[in-house]
């Protein structure tokens, strides 16, 4: 089922000017020989920008969701945990999608709890990368369960993305992704590692960074407050963001997002409800009707989120807001000095991302817990029928 918006994809050139920032969870079928799959996993992980203040990676088995490598912000640490020995000693090989979905829910819930305690806005994409062996499949008895589970996951955690990097025939997994055209990739050991793996890296790179309410996981309901997070951007680069409707669906007042320049440089801010990658194309002379762009330098960009879902009765039918921040291409080094630990280099532009009064209702969390209980019972009943 295609659950993605009908988005307008920009020129590939723009993605050479953006960087990956993600929380990546890999579920690896250990039926793959380590000698075969090692280079394919390494190629992807090494290009994820794994570092402190950067991306994180967690590696688990696809059969029982046991840990092969704990969440890490260090490439060296990741390879210390996952190697020939630990791969060979892992639990039984295989692929269990119900187990993966349950574990993905648990892991992302834990991630959101940590972000909530830190008053974080997320600001990373959320990727679950599944790597089944050529013989792996989803049991037909689990089909309805997995479909319902995924539907509810996408409604309550719309920022989660499931991507398959699989051996064998890809069509067997087409029912378990948002868009089979963009989320299914073939791992063929007879093909060059880069030929197979680069499209996976590009897909992850293309996913906008999520902006999530830091109080959405609190059990005590709403907490109206303002969040400010400093962001860093090399000259000429662009960051893409997405705010799901869960963050602005219910009625609220003074709900907005702002971008304030901190460096003495110009930024172009673009927004869209349909285009996942809005940006100002300096090559094309005809402006897009799918987006709006504004340049700021000393002033502040502000976007009102209050009434974005007024015409929608159901939360998951209200489209997200896509937003990009693009730094000017040239500047004097004195304008962009960056000596903070988060900076990748001494020369990076800086801006402030400000949100106010994002939706802090915990209805989605309560709904998810109820649904999970119902689904577990349904799953057990189905299993009993086939004993």
On whether residue 374 sits in a domain, the answer given is: no
pLDDT band at 286 (very low <50, low <70, confident <90, very high): very low
- Is 92 in the same domain as 122? yes
Whether residues 160 and 124 share a domain: the answer is yes
Smallest CA-to-CA distance from 108 within 60, 47, 49, 167 is with: 60
- Whether the CB-CB separation of 237 and 292 falls below 8 Å is answered with no
Q: Express as a percent the part of the chain with pLDDT over 70.
A: 85
Model confidence band, residue 223 (pLDDT cutoffs 50, 70, 90) = low
- Give mean pLDDT, residues 99-123: 92
- For residue 11, the model assigns a pLDDT of 54
The whole-number average pLDDT for the span 148-164 is: 93
Q: Is 311 left (phi over 0), alpha (psi -120 to 50) or beta?
A: alpha
DSSP string of 146-208, one letter each residue? HHHHHHHHHHHSTTEEEEEEESS-GGGGGGGSS-HHHHEEE--TTS-HHHHHHHHHHHHHHSP
Q: Are residues 146 and 234 in the same domain?
A: no
Q: What distance in Å separates the CA atoms of residue 290 and residue 307, rounded to the nearest whole number?
A: 19
d(CA 59, CA 366): 28
The mean predicted confidence, pLDDT, of the chain is: 87
How many separate domains does the chain show?
A: 2
- Tell me whether strands 256-261 and 321-327 are parallel, antiparallel or unpaired: unpaired
Q: What is the CATH classification number for the domain harbouring 191?
A: 3.40.50.410
| Residue 1, pLDDT score | 42
Residue at which a domain ends, from 141, 174, 207? 207
Question: How confident is the model at residue 226, as a pLDDT?
Answer: 87
pLDDT at residue 299 in the model: 87
Mind listing the pLDDT tens digit for each residue in 160-219? 999 999 999 999 999 999 999 999 999 999 999 999 999 999 999 999 999 998 765 444
Q: What is the pLDDT of residues 60-86, one digit of tens each?
A: 999 999 999 999 999 999 999 999 999
When pLDDT is averaged across residues 121-141 and rounded to a whole number, the result is 96
Q: Which domain holds residue 87?
A: 14-207
Highest-scoring range by mean pLDDT, 90-94, 126-130, 312-316: 126-130
Helix 363-385 to helix 143-156 angle (10° resolution) is: 180
Mean pLDDT, residues 231-243 taken together = 94
- Shared domain for 47 and 181, answered yes or no, is yes
pLDDT for position 287: 54
| 198 lies in the same domain as 112 | yes
The string of DSSP codes covering 70-83 is EEES-HHHHHHHSS
Of residues 334, 220, 328, the one with CA closest to residue 268? 328
pLDDT per residue over 251-283, tens digit each? 888 999 999 999 889 999 999 999 999 987 755
Whichever domain contains 347, its CATH number is 2.60.120
Pick 239 or 368 by higher pLDDT.
Answer: 239
pLDDT digits (tens, 9 = 90+) for 343-352: 877 788 999 9
Reported as a pLDDT band with limits 50, 70 and 90, residue 250 is confident
Joined together, the tokens standing for residue 71 give: 């969440």
How many other CB atoms are there within 10 angstroms of residue 368's CB atom? 18
**pTM over 0.85, yes/no:** yes
Element at 292 (helix H, strand E): strand 292-296
Higher pLDDT, 281 or 89: 89
Per-residue b or e along 147-158, where b marks 16 or more CB atoms closer than 10 Å to that residue's CB: eebbebbbbbbb
Helix axes 143-156, 97-117, angle to 10 degrees: 20
For residue 206, the model assigns a pLDDT of 94
Residues 39 and 142 in one domain: yes
- How sure is the predictor about 381, in pLDDT bands with cuts at 50, 70 and 90? low
Residues 269 and 181 in one domain: no
pLDDT in tens, 289-332: 688 999 998 889 999 999 999 999 988 899 999 999 999 988 78
Percent helix, strand and coil across the chain, each to the nearest 5? 30, 25, 45
**pLDDT (0 to 100) of residue 8:** 45
Q: Are 341 and 293 in contact (CB under 8 A)?
A: no
Are 196 and 233 within one domain? no
User: How many Cα atoms within 13 Å fall on the side-chain side of residue 364?
Assistant: 28
pLDDT of the residue at 347: 81
Do 68 and 113 lie in one domain? The reply is: yes
Clarify whether residues 235 and 202 are in a common domain.
no
What sections of the chain are H helices per DSSP? 34-45, 75-81, 84-88, 97-117, 143-156, 180-183, 193-206, 363-385
């Amino acid at each position: 089922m295609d659950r993605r918006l009908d988005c307008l994809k920009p020129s590939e050139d723009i993605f050479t000017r953006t960087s990956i920032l993600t929380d990546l969870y890999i579920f690896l079928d250990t039926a793959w020989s380590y000698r075969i799959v090692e280079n394919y996993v390494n190629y992807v992980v090494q290009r994820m920008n794994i570092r402190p203040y950067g991306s994180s990676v967690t590696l688990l088995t696809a059969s029982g969701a046991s840990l092969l490598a704990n969440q890490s912000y260090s490439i060296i640490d990741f390879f210390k945990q996952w190697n020939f020995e630990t791969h060979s000693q892992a639990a039984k090989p295989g692929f269990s999608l119900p187990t993966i979905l349950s574990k993905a829910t648990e892991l992302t819930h834990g991630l959101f709890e940590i972000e909530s305690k830190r008053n974080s806005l997320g600001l990373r994409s959320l990727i679950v990368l599944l790597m089944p062996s050529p013989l792996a499949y989803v049991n037909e008895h689990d089909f309805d369960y997995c479909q319902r589970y995924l539907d509810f996951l996408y409604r309550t955690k719309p920022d989660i993305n499931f991507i398959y990097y699989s051996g064998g025939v890809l069509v067997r997994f087409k029912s378990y992704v948002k868009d089979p055209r963009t989320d299914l990739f073939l791992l063929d050991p007879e093909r060059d590692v880069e030929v197979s793996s680069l499209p996976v890296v590009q897909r992850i790179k293309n996913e906008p960074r999520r902006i999530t309410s830091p109080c959405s996981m609190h059990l005590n309901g709403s907490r109206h407050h303002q969040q400010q997070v400093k962001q860093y951007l090399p000259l000429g680069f662009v960051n893409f963001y997405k705010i799901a409707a869960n963050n602005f669906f219910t009625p609220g007042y003074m709900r907005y997002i702002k971008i304030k320049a901190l460096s003495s440089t110009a930024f172009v801010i673009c927004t869209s409800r349909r285009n996942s990658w809005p940006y100002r194309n300096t090559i094309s002379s005809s402006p897009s009707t799918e987006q709006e762009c504004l340049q700021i330098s000393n002033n502040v960009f502000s976007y009102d989120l209050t009434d974005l879902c007024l015409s929608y009765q159901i939360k998951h039918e209200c489209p997200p807001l896509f937003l990009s921040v693009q730094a000017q291409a040239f500047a004097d080094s004195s304008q962009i000095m960056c000596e903070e630990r988060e900076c990748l280099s001494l020369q990076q532009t800086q801006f402030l991302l400000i949100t106010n009064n994002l939706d802090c209702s915990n209805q989605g969390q309560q709904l998810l817990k109820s649904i999970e209980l119902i689904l577990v019972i349904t799953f057990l009943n189905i299993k009993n029928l086939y004993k």
